Structure 1
Amino acid sequence: MAISLLALTRILLLLPLVNLSASKQGQLIELDEDSWHQLLEGEWMVEFFAPWCPACKVLGPIWKDFSQWSNDLGVKIAHVDLTVNPGLSGRFMVTALPTIYHVKDGVFRQYRGTRDKESFISFVEEKKWQGVEPVSAWKAPQSIQMSMVAQFFKLSMAVRGLHTTLVDNYGIPYWGSYILFALATIVLGALLGLLIVFIIDAVFPPKPLAAPAQAKGDDLAKGDTGGAESGTKSDEDEDLVDESPAEKSESSKEEEEVEDAKKSEEEKDTAGEVRRRNVPSSEEATAD
C-alpha cells in the first residue's frame, strides 16, 4: 500500500513536468488562402509542398521535427499544400517543389541551403538569413500585381476542374471540351473589348468636329467667286450647273486668253495694212 501511494505521488509530481515539456514543443502551422497574411507579422519559416512530390515526401518528417524547435528559436514554422491552395503558388512564384521561405516582418527570403534539421536551426539561430537577398518589392506576395497573378492561378485551376467535370461526369470528349472553351474565350474577349471601348469613351470623350465653321467658310468663298465671275460667264458656263468654283475660274481664264489672242492677231493685221499703205511701191519709187 505504501509502495502504491509512493508511485502515485511520483506520477502526480511528474505530470507538470510532462505538460511543461509539451508546451515547450512547437507546432506545425498549416496556412491557406485565407490565413497566409499571418506571415506578414513576426518571424516565420514556411514550406510549400505537394503530396505527390517525392522530394516533399522526404522533407515532410524533417520539417515536422524542425517545427518542434519553433518555441526555442522564437520562430513560427508553417507549411502550405499547393494542391489545395493553387493561388498561393502564383502569389509566391513557386516554380520548384519543395520551396522554403524565411519571413521577417513581411520581408521574404528564399532558403536555398541543405534540407536537414540542423541546417534549418542554424539558419534561424545564427541569423544566416541576413546574408540572403530579399525578394524584390514588385515580386513581394503582398503586392497588387502578385495578387492579380494569384487570381489568374485560381482561375486556371477552376477551368481545369470544369474541364475534368465535363469529360468525366458528362462524357464530353476532350476535343469537344476544348471547342467549348475556345468559343467561351472568343465571346468573353469580345465582351471585354466592348467594355474597354465604352470605358475609354466615357473617360476620354471624342472632341466635337469643326464641320459647321468649315461649311460657312466654303459658302462665303463660293459667294465671292460667283460675284467676280458674273460678268464673264458664257452660255456654256451657265449650262454647267454642277461646275465647281475652281473649274469656273479656270474656264473664264481660258476664254480671256483666247480673246486676248484674237485681239492681238487683229492688231497685227491692222498694223500690217497700215504699213502697206504708207510704204510706196517700187514702180513709184523708180519714176520719182
Structure 2
Amino acid sequence: MDLLALADFNLVARHGGFGKASRAAGRPKATLSRRVAELEASLELRLFERGARDLKLTEEGRALFERTGQLLTELDETATAIASGGHSPRGRLRISAPLLFSQTAMGKVAASFTLKYPEVRLEVTTEDRSVDMIEEAYDLVIRVNPAPDESLVGRIFLHDRLVVVASPDLTPPEDGSAIPVVVRGPAGQGDAWSMVTPTGKTKIAVNPVLSLSSLVMVRDAVRMGVGAARLPVSLISHDLATGTMVRWGDVEGSEIALWTLYPTRRLLSARVSAFLDHLKEAFPKGTPDELAAYVGR
C-alpha cells in the first residue's frame, strides 16, 4: 500500500473534503483527488461517496480511517522524536471536557500543562454531550459517569458526590410542604428528593422555582437564597466552611466519577500519557475536597 496515498486519504477524511484538505495542507486539490483515486483503485474499494456538494466516507472508508489515522500520526511523531534525539511530547492534543470541570478547574490544568510542555499545542473543547472521538479527532475525552463503551478504555481520576444544600435562612419544612428548589435543566414537575442524613434516609417535597443551565449558576442562586439545590461537594465546600450554605444531607446514590477516556485501537501517544500524568499530579488522591482546594488556590 502506498503510504503517501494513505496519508492523503487521511488528510481528506479528517477535513471532510478535498477543498478543505487542500487549503489546510497547502497542497493542490487535483493531486489529493488523484492520490485518493489511486488508493481506491489499488484496494478495489470506494472510500468516499461523492455527492454534488459534500463528501462522505463509505463504511469501508471509515474503517480504514479509524484504523490508520493514529498509526500515521505515531509514525510521524516517532520519526520526529528520533530526528530530534528526544521523546518529549509535542504536537496537537485535542481534549473534550465537561462544562463544570472546565469552568472550575480546566483552565488551571491546561495552563500548567502548557507551561510544562510548551511543544504541545493543547486544544480544549467544553461540552457535556457524547462525542465520536475518531470522527471528531479527539485524543482524550473527560466525562462524568460515562456509559460503558467497549471501544474505549480509561481511568477514574476524580470522585465527587451530590449533596442537598441551601442558604442558612431556608430550613426544611416540618409539615411536609414543598420546598423551593433551583434545578439544572428543564424544571418540570417537582418530584420528592431522597436524602441520606445522620439520622437516616428521608424525602422532601420540592417545588422547582428556577431552572438554570449551569451548576455554577445554580450555586450562585442558592447563595442568594432562592431555594435549595443538589450540588457537588467540590463546588460548594468553601460555602459550607464559611457558613454561606448549610448541608441538609447527601443525595442518595449520587456518587460521581470523572473519567479520562481514549480509544483502545489507538496507540497511547506521548502527549496523552503526559496529560494523564499531569492530572494524576494535580489530583493525587482524587477526592472532592482535593478538587475544591485546587479550584480555590
Is TM more than 0.5 here?
Answer: no
Task: Give the TM-score category using the shorter length.
Answer: under 0.3
- After TM superposition, the score normalised by the length of structure 1 is 0.20
**Structure ranking higher in helix proportion:** 1
- TM-score w.r.t. the length of structure 2 is 0.19
Choose 1 or 2 for highest CA Rg. 1
